Amino acid sequence: MPAFIKDRNWIAILDFGSQYTHLIARRVRECGVYSEIVPFNIPARKLLSRKPSAIILSGGPSSVISRKSPVCDKNIFSLGLPVLGICYGAQLMANVLGGRVSKAGKREYGKAILKIKSGKMLLKGLKQKEAVWMSHGDKVTKLPAGFKIAGATANSLIAAMEDKKRKFFGLQFHPEVIHTPGGKKILKNFVINISRCKTGWNMRSFVKKAIKDIRSTVGNEKVLCGLSGGVDSSVLATLLHKAIGKNLIAVFVDNGVLRKDEARLVEKRFKRHYHINLKTVNAGNIFLKGLKGVRDPEKKRKTIGKIFIDVFTKEAKKFGRIKFLAQGTLYPDIIESRSAFGGPSATIKTHHNVGGLPKNLKFKLIEPLKDLFKDEVRLLGKELGLPDDIVYRQPFPGPGLAVRILGSITPERLRILREAGWILMNEVKRAGLYNKLWQSFCVLLPLKTVGVMGDERTYESVIAIRAVESEDAMTARWAKLPYDFLGKVSNRIVNEVKGVNRVVYDISSKPPATIEWE
């Protein structure tokens, strides 16, 4: 937890494995209050020692009825703190406090209409009928002592419950998702009105404290920082440069799987314009040799992570003794890699900053951005004075094009993807779509199809176009790009990129798909 967060002014979110847990944390922060996701089984005494203002119990894929379902320390409900249970969290609360949870006769998934019966506390300010988002197979069928029904749907008579005296609340629906229009108001009621938190979580206060913490941790030591040119590493390098100046050694590693002209752009921007102490390392051959024959996406990520550290270790020796290595790990990186740390959520993918580090790491790791979501990093960049073309640059994965080439990686396949991606990005910017999309990129598929070009039969590669809209990369909607635009991009790729005769468009949202294909 950031040191400048005062006692009794943050929200603890117990994670029971829902893929929406991160959204709860994000929505709380949008209220101007810091939130942090903690393990569901954190001891009540340990949690109390960290002095949160209130507790939120997240949803989860388990059934409270099952003997193997995750259960929090029951003393959580004896701490005298407000508690909000969401979906599984609400059912767990009911079960622990003496209510009853039963298998629903009809599973409720998707939109439902909530009829509000008590709108003075948690549901204050909402209309009598509100659209909400449901996702459950169990439901509360008997209230615990002291609780009353606050809202109901056609399928759930206890869709919202409350114990005003103890400030305990349970919601069968998900207020954190955009499909619950009044959800932000509900969470704000809990965080500000019920838990009495004061707003103060913003990037200005973060910058001041982060710089102070970096200086305190680093002292006069030097820090090695990987600079890729993406939003995260650019903000990280700028923050470090502001804090320690010449003691920062930024290293740009050309790993051979970057976008077209990326190396030139990074050097021009940060070495010449921002005067950051930048060292460029051309290690493309090393990475490509290590990736030869590697087809599994997790192995690709871990291979790149290991080589990345090896290259850094070698470079560090050239600068004398280097004690610290800085990484741009973000909060979603840690959340998505949670199972590696014993959490209840399934591993979606191992982030290269989290899962690829060797056990014998010789650097002391510092991660100044690890408490931030992606949009908060962009706000931090603006606070640091970075221009929009850096701050609002679309995300690019740390493993680069290696995870956008499905199957084996070869120089020829890299050439195809680089050229196709370059065309797509040019057309996206020309059409004024760049800042409207969270990400837009090409994927090279591990198959070939028959085509006809110049009256001759071809048997060449397929490019998939991926474009999504999102708020924080944890959920995403496929972008409904104009047909004319897609047609133009497809036509250019097929005609200008040798080795491609077919282009397809990905219309999958996250979930169930991820944004990247690997």
DSSP string, 223-244: EEEE--SSHHHHHHHHHHHHHH
> Residue 340: is its pLDDT beyond 50?
no
Does residue 333 carry a pLDDT above 60? yes
Model confidence over 74-102: pLDDT tens digits? 999 999 999 999 999 999 999 999 999 99
| pLDDT at residue 432, rounded to an integer | 96
Kindly state the tokens that stand for 327.
């990484």
- Band (pLDDT 50/70/90 cuts) for residue 335 is low
Q: Which of 442, 440, 443, 439 minimizes the C-alpha distance to 471? A: 439
Q: Among 14-23, 169-178, 357-366, 475-484, name the one with the lowest average pLDDT.
A: 357-366
For this structure, is 275 an active site residue? no
Q: What is the pLDDT of residue 6?
A: 55
pLDDT for 269-294, tens place per residue? 887 777 888 999 999 999 999 999 99
Position 129 confidence tier, pLDDT thresholds 50, 70, 90: very high
61 secondary structure, DSSP code = S
pLDDT of 352 above 60? no
Rounded Cα–Cα distance for residues 441 and 197 (Å): 41
pLDDT bin (cut points 50, 70, 90) of residue 361 is low
The whole-angstrom separation of Cα 359 and Cα 357 is 7
Per-residue pLDDT reduced to its tens digit, 193-203: 999 999 988 89
Give Cα separations from 58 to 19, 172, 385 (angstroms): 10, 11, 36
Has 72 been annotated as catalytic?
Answer: no
Give the type of residue at 42. Answer: I
Q: Give the pairing type, strands 54-57 and 34-39.
A: unpaired
Q: What is the pLDDT of residue 78?
A: 96
CA dihedral for 333, 335, 341, 345, sign (positive or negative)? negative
- Tokens found for residue 338: 């949670």
pLDDT at 104 over 60: yes
Answer whether 197's CB lies under 8 Å from 6's CB.
no
Cβ distance 270 to 278 under 8 Å? yes
Residue 349 pLDDT > 50, yes or no? Answer: no
Amino acid letter at 76? Answer: I
Is the pLDDT reported for residue 24 higher than 70? yes
- Burial-class residue 218 by CB neighbours within 10 Å (0-12, 13-18, 19+): buried
Active-site residue, 176 included: yes
Measured between alpha carbons, how far is 72 from 89 in angstroms, rounded to an integer? Answer: 10
Active site residue: 176, 262, 376, 383, which one? 176
Q: What predicted TM-score, i.e. pTM, was given to this entire model?
A: 0.71
How does DSSP assign 316-348, residue by residue? HHHTS---EEE----HHHHHHTGGGGT-SSPPS
Q: Give me the mean pLDDT over the 433-455 stretch.
A: 92
Q: Any residues with CB less than 8 A from the CB of 36 and at least 6 apart, and which?
A: 1, 10, 11, 12, 13, 25, 371
Give the pLDDT score at 456.
81
Phi, psi of 517 (to 5 degrees): -80, -25
345 pLDDT above the threshold of 50? no
SS3 370: coil
What pLDDT score was predicted for residue 210?
Answer: 93
What's the pLDDT score for residue 350? 44
Q: Which of the listed ranges 85-99, 324-338, 462-476 does the model predict with the highest average pLDDT?
A: 85-99
Instruction: Order across the sheet with 223-226: list the strands.
Output: 278-282, 248-254, 223-226, 324-326, 364-366
Percentage of the residues of the chain whose pLDDT score is greater than 90:
65
Taking Cα atoms as reference points, which of 14, 28, 20 lies closest to residue 93? Answer: 14
Mean pLDDT of 128-142: 90
Q: Determine which one of 22, 174, 241, 352 is catalytic.
A: 174
Q: Are 40 and 15 in contact (CB under 8 A)?
A: yes
Average the pLDDT over each of 347-361, 365-379, 429-443 and give the range with the smallest value: 347-361
Q: Which residues contact 256 (CB under 8 A, 6 or more apart)?
A: 283, 284, 285, 287, 288, 414
Indicate which residue of 31, 87, 225, 442 is catalytic: 87
Instruction: Tell me how far the alpha carbon of residue 398 is from its chain's centroid.
Output: 14
Query: What integer pLDDT is reported at residue 192 of this predicted model?
Result: 97
What's the pLDDT at 311?
Answer: 86
pLDDT at 18: 87
Average pLDDT over residues 324-337: 77
